[in-house]
Amino acid sequence: MTLHQPEPPSEEALTRWLQKHVDLLAAERKEEQDQSRLLLSKCSPKQLERNGLAVLGLGALNVSIGLGGKILAELERPAAYHTSPIIPPHTLRPGDIVQLEDHATDPTKPLKTKASGSSDAYRPAPGVVFKVSDSKLVIALGANNKKKPDGSGSEAPELPHRIRVVKVANEATFDRMEATLARLAKQLGLTIKTSRSKPGDGSSSESEVEGQGDGEGQGSKGSSPSSNLIRALVAQTPPTWAKDVTMPLPLFNTGLNESQQRAITFALASNHFALIHGPPGTGKTTAVAELVLQLALGQEKRVLVCGASNLAADNVMERIIERGGDALRAKGLGITRIGHPARVLQSLVTSTLDYQSQNSSEGSLLKDVREELQASMKVLRPDRDAPAAGNKSTSYRGQASSRAGGKGRMSGSERRQRWDEVRALRKEYRKRERGLTKAVISRASIVVATCHGAGGRQLNNVEFDAVIIDEACQATEAACWIPIMRARAEGKVILAGDHLQLPPTVKGYRHSQDKRKSAKPNKSKKQEANADEAASRLSNISLNGDGDAQDNEEDEGEGGSFEASKAKGRDKQRVVLRPPRSLETTLFSRLLGLYGPGCKNLLDVQYRMNQEIMTFPNEALYESQLKAHESNCSIRLFDLDNYELARPETEEEEKDDVRLAPIVFIDTAGSDMFETSASASDDVDSIVGRESKTNVHEVELVHAHVETLLQAGLRPSQIGVLSPYSAQVSLLADRLSGFRDAASGERVEIGTVDGMQGRENEAIVISLVRSNEEGNVGFLAEKRRLNVAMTRPKRQLCVIGDSTTCRDSGDEYLGKWMDHLEENALVDLALLRNQ
């Protein structure tokens, strides 16, 4: 099969398209830097801690060598400074980039320097969160930039007496994406300007981009120059599919439904690329895992499997091992996960490259150095049981000073010398380790990573027959190109995702905002206001948005960057390569826009929610093509083993009881339960000058409904609460904090809609927040966000919101949803509750 052949874009159009990507990335990087700077400079450490962006007053309990020769500092709250060892709620997660600061310094003021210009003050040191528990943070330390007396940098991870850990922006991702696009330009023979181009020469220099020591671009053969695969992805040649391809091996997962099997054979047959469209709960990851096994075991291909996030990569890897681990072992085929062990699920740590290298037959090469390293570290390690005089804390510095049974302090120069030894040993360790990782990779038929991780130096000079990206609609196009550049010239790319759910979170939005305004002159003021907020929405502390999202022909992709490729008259038209409007335009959507539905296969059986919850999104977005599988088609809360109330005897009874009904709508229309602006609050959104919204009335309604469900026997962890607004999420988290399972400590899961994409729960309560007389609904006017929100529950969806405000917004999709809820949900009018 060959899809229509659009006339290829001109070189000029191709250059403009690629240049726009690079420019958008630069704008995004700047936005992220600005926000991070603003937060760190404007907020006191206490404010940062209240917003979950910092943890204060920590002491080092231990420092050790972890996998990959990483220096790990175990931090806790010393009893001398805190009444409780429990670390306050925070957003630090394994893999986050942090800065370790001296608690005694004020980050909003410059460090004091001596007359000589040098400073004794502890300079912030970088680190990566390795492990998080209620009372401990383990940080993998990076280089400390405190200057040595000779002026050179020091790798010695000296820690201050009291430590503050602060979350910071991660720029490495941007460097890698930009470098990848520069290489793509080179392969296409195009000249683009990157942030590393020499001023004024207008050229892109690969060597300049390569020089980041990050591995990308160095030695990767990729598919140079411009392979058929790359040409198909940038509209220069149409993709083709082989005829009559069947599954090479019997299914590893014999329960796959027809659409999953179809999608897999479609992907196996593709000569260039194929899309697997997986609406919520349709078994996309399950299908991807089978596809990987068929490729690796049946076709003996080398496969690079990527996820848009670590969790996505881990999910797919778990499924691959679960279904095909034995078969891979039997054939002697390796599978390895590239990535910082801190960012990988515990169950997969033994499958990481770090672990496999150290435990391979050649691993003993590392053992000697490791032992020496541990011994050197031990001298510097604190001794918990011997606190330094006058200091009750378990500070690393204080404790280290009292080593060797308290026989005096280690002098500064002695200490530095020790660290120099450690540094030399680590260098040797890393050298030997590189040799080992190369050996492990050469044996791996399946390599799993995040899109970003696929750009690491471990994969330099390694080529893959197939690159598969799961959750591809949550990765920017630039991020997808990182693994794609690892494909062989004759290789293929398979993208699995759903373009009708939220795109990747993007902070910079001005480009898209400007475009939208000029493109939509006829929008009413109210629609403009809603779209403006949609564009500047802040979720998970980020901006997102292209208000045009709603105007896209979703089923055709995002209007297509190649604008003339829409369905009507597709084969007659010349492809106009239109620069992307924002980084939200994903590769998946663009290809769909370019080549039409012929390049995708839809998974049409969903395994999550009951029929009632599925109906609206199915009709409104998926052209009624989805079917609820019989195992979940009619599931109800009262089928749960722990449901304690009587089952309903009639359908009427079920429809009239909020503890039973599959859909509940608590409508606040006419009850004056208005929203409030959260701009005066301590919320980070407000600190960086963005307004978030709250609705205290809805917080109470959520509380009441959750309480009702708990009284019916549900466990807190079976209930999820979502809101589009982060300020509302903060209020909800406070108010619902008491709902905690006494035995297990499990809580109700609370989060922004954007943060809950990919998650599910038995019952989901959505607080829409917006209630005003102007009909302003902000970023509720974004059907992909609403789609994510309403497809999280399995058994009950409870919506709390103001139907009048939603209708007055003029947003068609929102209006339709309100009509659907009124007709199909148990409607509970808040107005009547007040009377």
Q: Give the residues lining the site for ligand ATP (CB under 6 A).
A: 255-257, 260, 278, 280-286, 607, 758
Measured CA angle at 561 (ends 556, 564), to 5 deg: 70
Measured CA angle at 233 (ends 229, 236), to 5 deg: 90
Q: Which is nearer to ligand ATP, 629 or 735 (CB)?
A: 629
Q: Which is nearer to ligand ATP, 292 or 535 (CB)?
A: 292
Least Å distance, CB 598 to ligand ATP, is 22
Least Å distance, CB 303 to ligand ATP, is 18
Q: Which is nearer to ligand ATP, 282 or 394 (CB)?
A: 282
Least Å distance, CB 470 to ligand ATP, is 7
Q: Which is nearer to ligand ATP, 257 or 728 (CB)?
A: 257
Measured CA angle at 617 (ends 612, 621), to 5 deg: 150
Instruction: For helices 611-621 and 812-824, give the axis angle rounded to 10 degrees.
Output: 150
Q: How far is CA 163 from CA 93, 156, 756, in A?
A: 18, 16, 32
Least Å distance, CB 592 to ligand ATP, is 17
Least Å distance, CB 264 to ligand ATP, is 11
Q: Which is nearer to ligand ATP, 607 or 674 (CB)?
A: 607
Q: Which is nearer to ligand ATP, 285 or 726 (CB)?
A: 285
Q: Which is nearer to ligand ATP, 184 or 609 (CB)?
A: 609
Cis omega (within 30 of 0) for bond into 160: no
Q: Which is nearer to ligand ATP, 278 or 339 (CB)?
A: 278
Least Å distance, CB 281 to ligand ATP, is 5
Residue type at position 224: S
Measured CA angle at 345 (ends 342, 348), to 5 deg: 105
Pick from 353, 344, 358, 286: which is nearest to 316 by CA? 286
Instruction: For helices 477-484 and 587-595, give the axis angle rounded to 10 degrees.
Output: 90
| Helix H or strand E segment including 685 | helix 684-687
First to last CA, the chain: 66
Least Å distance, CB 635 to ligand ATP, is 13
Least Å distance, CB 322 to ligand ATP, is 10
Q: Which is nearer to ligand ATP, 130 or 266 (CB)?
A: 266
Contact 438, 419 (CB under 8 A): no
User: What are 307's two structure tokens?
Assistant: 């996820």
Pick from 123, 120, 144: which is nearest to 63 by CA? 144
Least Å distance, CB 502 to ligand ATP, is 12
Q: Which is nearer to ligand ATP, 318 or 465 (CB)?
A: 318
Q: Which is nearer to ligand ATP, 634 or 737 (CB)?
A: 634
Least Å distance, CB 602 to ligand ATP, is 12
Residues facing 470 on adjacent strands: 307
Least Å distance, CB 632 to ligand ATP, is 9
The number of beta carbons lying within 10 Å of the beta carbon of residue 520 is: 14
Q: Which is nearer to ligand ATP, 278 or 503 (CB)?
A: 278
The number of beta carbons lying within 10 Å of the beta carbon of residue 792 is: 26
What is the C-alpha separation between 693 and 770, in angstroms, rounded?
Answer: 8
| Helix H or strand E segment including 794 | strand 793-801
Least Å distance, CB 477 to ligand ATP, is 20
Least Å distance, CB 465 to ligand ATP, is 23
User: What are 177's two structure tokens?
Assistant: 């994406």
Least Å distance, CB 309 to ligand ATP, is 12
User: What are 567's two structure tokens?
Assistant: 């369905």
Pick from 2, 8, 13, 6: which is nearest to 579 by CA? 13
Name the residue with the smallest CB distance to ligand ATP: 283
Q: Which is nearer to ligand ATP, 164 or 319 (CB)?
A: 319
Contact 552, 558 (CB under 8 A): yes
CA dihedral for 760, 762, 765, 766, sign (positive or negative)? positive
Residues facing 62 on adjacent strands: 74
Q: Which is nearer to ligand ATP, 260 or 767 (CB)?
A: 260
User: What are 653's two structure tokens?
Assistant: 């009874």
Pick from 102, 107, 130: which is nearest to 349 by CA? 130
Q: Which is nearer to ligand ATP, 283 or 775 (CB)?
A: 283
What are the start-end ranges of the H helices in 74-227? 172-188, 206-210
Burial 625-657 (b: 16+ CB within 10 A, else e): ebbbeeebeebbbbebeebeeeebeeeeebeeb
Least Å distance, CB 121 to ligand ATP, is 47
How many CA within 13 A on the CB side of residue 782? 30
Spatial neighbors of 690 by CB under 8 A, at least 6 apart, are 536, 538, 543
Contact 167, 132 (CB under 8 A): no
